[in-house]
Amino acid sequence: MSSIGMFGKKIGMTQIFNDKGSAIPVTILEIGPCTITNIKHSEYNKIYHIQIGYEYTNPKKLTKALLGKFSKLQLPCFKYLKEYKNDDNSNNLQIGQVLTVKELQVGNYINISAKSIGKGFCGYQKRHHFSRGPMSHGSKNHRQPGSIGAGTTPGRVFPGKRMSGRMGHNKVTIKNLKILDVDTKNNIVIIKGSVPGKNGNILYLYKK
């Protein structure tokens, strides 16, 4: 099955109304343009590895290896690179080809991956949805964790114990988001629902 992967940015959320007057929460995305920077074909499993670049950057900010790569291919310098797999190359993709929102159609379903919003150091209730202690007068256990393990045996806290710590800033993938509108002139895509991250966040779009 032929697939297409592209980079983009999250602009923000709003709502639109359908013919029946119902409000639909939507997210506005700026997708592409992305440039294909490399195509490798594996003879072992017949998989195409397609690398795409997004957002031009100053050559002084790149390593000599990347500068040599872009110079050899006669391509501009990109800030973001990502590789995705493709079962076939029925789209006849070529190195240097530019992918835009024209590859997307209204009604298609896409998957979006991005970094979620980082919330810093969080406690038990916020991070793991633990229930709180009694709030009546005299209680000294409102938001404390309580016991975290047994005593002499095993005499330690097992790895993976749900405790307070940093929350968010993880890769999150949301599948089957429906495309409601595509603006090819401004590279804008409107999808139904929400996507991970804050406004301006870099995201990766994957369409089958």
Q: Which residues pair with 81 in a beta bridge?
A: 53
Cis bond upstream, residue 59 (ω within 30): no
pLDDT tens, residue by residue, 62-83: 999 999 999 998 999 999 999 9
| CATH 2.40.30.10 given to domain 4-133+161-207 | yes
Q: From the centroid of its chain, how far is CA 33? A: 17
Q: What percent of the chain has pLDDT over 90?
A: 69
- Going from N- to C-terminal start, the domains of the chain cover 4-133+161-207
Compute the 3-state secondary structure of the chain and give helix, strand, coil in percent, each to the nearest 5: 10, 45, 45
Rg (C-alpha) for the chain, rounded Å, is 23
pTM score: 0.82
pLDDT for position 1: 46
pLDDT at 115 over 50: yes
- What mean pLDDT do residues 76-94 have? 84
